[in-house]
Amino acid sequence: MGKLNLKVSIDQKSGFCFGVVEAIKRAEDHLNKGEKIYCLGQIVHNEEEVNRLEQKGMITISHEEFKKLKNIKVLFRAHGEPPESYQIVQQNHIDLIDASCPIVTKLQQRVKKAYDNHENIFIFGKPGHPEIIGLLGQTDGNAVVFKDISELSFEKLPPKITLFSQTTMDKKRYAEIIKILREHGIDVKVNNTICGEVANRQPEIKNFCKSFDKIVFVAGKKSSNGKVLYSACKEANPQAYFISSVNEISRQWFAPNESVGICGATSTPQWLMQKVKSHLESL
């Protein structure tokens, strides 16, 4: 089998958003000093990056484990946490490294304000996602979370609602939801809470994908932003493949001398895209 001689480029605009960069930097600052730190939930929805940090000594814990631990150092990741987690920090004398993304923190404050004003809160997002759990915590669990308009019954909706979105959702779908709700006579108070950095990646990634024969999109299986961006890739270039690690790459996907673009989610580390590039160049 001869060498494929692929021409491989990495999308320079892909990779960690600033919220994730900051959370990982905070974790590494402590780990490099040899400190023992615990992370509440996966620091980022990317197994490879989680493994790298765990090898440096970071311990990932669940919310159940967190409730039982005392006098330790815990990192809150970029997704944000509900008020209950901060209460546990107080009660259990935990040394907190709060790496909640400022955009998420601001969104939490807006949701809490709307809840305190007795507004009917609806959130476009993924039920069970860590960011959503943090947002629901601002409303004592009294908000409606939906990821598709079909989940809502227009007959049962209150005449006036306050609408928010998880920061990593699709901007186009959010706009469609607002339009449909208004067409059904619902008075919608709209909050534009999709992260600008995330929203801008869709047009950017589409432009990038158009320039190549094949695309390799790198993201963790649990990344919601990964799913959104991958569908944008696929729209721009149907010859796009989703992988989470190098060993998922198949030589059969490529023909000799093809151009291949590598891009990823806001939770995809640069080093992993670099590793994919080296692997493709060796085929």
Any idea which residues carry the catalytic annotation?
131
Q: Please report the DSSP string for the chain in residue order.
A: ------EEEE-TT-S--HHHHHHHHHHHHHHTTT---EEES-SSS-HHHHHHHHHTT-EEE-HHHHHH--S-EEEE-TT---HHHHHHHHHTT-EEEE---HHHHHHHHHHHHHHHTT--EEEES-TT-HHHHHHHGGGTT-SEEESSGGGS-TTTS-SEEEEEE-TTS-HHHHHHHHHHHHHTT-EEEE---S-HHHHHHHHHHHHHHTTSSEEEEE--TT-HHHHHHHHHHHHH-SSEEEESSGGG--GGG--TT-EEEEEE-TT--HHHHHHHHHHHHH-
Place of tokens 């999109």: 217
Q: At what angle do helices 196-209 and 171-183 cross, to 10 degrees?
A: 120
CA 278 to CA 280: how far, in whole Å?
6
Q: Please report the DSSP string for 190-250 in residue order.
A: E---S-HHHHHHHHHHHHHHTTSSEEEEE--TT-HHHHHHHHHHHHH-SSEEEESSGGG--
